[in-house]
Amino acid sequence: MGLLDKLSAWLGGGRAELTVLVLGLDNSGKSTMLNALRPPELRAQHVMPTVSHQQDRFQSGGVSFSAWDVSGAPRHRALWERHYRAAHAVIFVVDAADHLRLVVAREELELMLAHPDMFGRRAPLLVFANKSDAPHALAPMLVAAALGLEKISDRPWHVCASSALSGAGLADGVAWLAAQLRDAHVPKRN
């Protein structure tokens, strides 16, 4: 029984939960984004830098997600690859106002996509050009160009401006992701 069969069995059972990996450099707003996706009563007042990783759950478009939020600190980035195998999709959060580190984000993204556990899989990639409300923030298309997303041909990707603090743009991006995963996993059931 393959991975996809297992998945469709879960989806058929109505308890569909897909693992999505939330990646990005430190201070790009990963935890804040997940915090904004929570119901209002469960939101944390202050988001602290994540050490190692934490898990969070949210729902969109009839798909429930189990999100792995991993630390983006340079010395923890080597641990990202441990989660690749289990991930059905990747959310990559970029600080669109941090022009200096766009190259670093690009490098990390390329390393991730070239990893044996990620390469050749059709796991969708959602890029959030976060902090879009900050002064000097780049437009999502410019972020896509800076990250070299146009070169990705082996998986669906989508870039989306967002502001994790206010929650703007998050729902759109997550809805795209849910639609992608439904398309990929639901037909298998029949």
Partner 1 sequence: MVTITRWLDVEVGTGDVGLNTLPANLALLDLQNDNEFKLVVGDLGRGDEGPKLKVFKGAMQTADMLLPDLPLAIAGFYANEVVPRSTPLIAVAFSSCVYIYRNMKPFFKYYLPSIELSTLEMDVWNQLADPNNHSTEALTIISETLKTIPDKILSMQSRNFLSLTPDEQLEYLEQKSETPTWKPPEIVCLTTLKLSSVERYSASCLVVGTEDGDVIVLDPQTLTQLSQAKLSSVKKTPYQMVATGLYNVDYRITVATREKSVCILKRDWTEGRLLFSTQDHIIAIEVVTSDNSIMVICTDNTMSCYTRKGKKMWCVTLEHRPVAMTTVPVMHLGVTLIGVALASGHVHLYEGKARVDTIFVRDVVSVMKFGRLGQEEHVLIIVSGSGNLMLKILKRTADFNSHSAGVEMSPSVAAGQKPWLIPKKSKLFLEQSMRERENALSMHETFQFELNKLRLLTAKTLLDAHAKSENSVGAGAMELLRLTAEVEGLGPVFRITLMVENTSSDKAVIGLAILFHVHTANYKVTKPYIKIPLLSPGGKLKFPTKIEEVFEDNINPDVFFRPVTGEGGERSLVKILLLKEERRTPVLAAIVQMPPTDPLMLPFDKLQAAGGFQEGTEWDVGGK
Q: Which parts of this chain interact with partner 1 (CB under 8 A)?
A: 25-27, 74-75, 77-78, 98-104, 106-108, 111, 136, 146
Please, what is the minimum distance in Å from the beta carbon of residue 98 to partner 1? 6
Does 28 carry a binding-site annotation? yes
Residue 66 CB, nearest approach to partner 1 (Å)? 27
Nearest-approach distance from CB 108 to partner 1, in angstroms: 8
Burial 68-98 (b: 16+ CB within 10 A, else e): bbbbbeeeebeebeebbeebbbbbbbbbbeb
Minimum gap (Å) between residue 136 Cβ and partner 1: 7
Residue closer to partner 1 (CB basis): 106 or 121: 106
Cβ closer to partner 1: 143 or 181? 143
Q: Cα(190)–Cα(7) distance, rounded to whole angstroms? A: 13
Place of tokens 């879960």: 10
| Residue 19 labelled as part of a binding site | no
Radius of gyration for the alpha carbons in the chain, expressed in angstroms and rounded? 16
52 and 72 Cβ atoms separated by less than 8 Å: no
> Which residues are annotated as part of the binding site for Mg(2+)?
31, 50
Which residues contribute to the annotated binding site for GTP? Answer: 24-31, 72, 130-133
